[in-house]
Amino acid sequence: MSAASIRHRWGEKVRANDGRSSRKICERCEMICVSRHETDGRGFAQHWKEWWRGTDLIQRAGLTPLCEPVEVMGGVSDG
Query: Is the pLDDT reported for residue 30 higher than 70?
Result: yes
pLDDT (tens digit per residue) in 11-28: 999 999 998 999 999 999
11: left (phi over 0), alpha (psi -120 to 50) or beta: beta
- The stretch 24-46 carries a mean pLDDT of 92
- Place 1 in a pLDDT band, splitting at 50, 70 and 90: very low
| 79 vs 6, residue with greater confidence | 6
Query: Is the pLDDT reported for residue 79 higher than 60?
Result: no
Query: Is the pLDDT reported for residue 6 higher than 90?
Result: no
> Phi and psi for 61 in degrees, rounded to 5?
65, 180
Rg (CA), the chain: 16
Q: Which amino acid is at 32?
A: I
Instruction: For the chain, give percent helix, strand, coil, nearest 5.
Output: 0, 40, 60
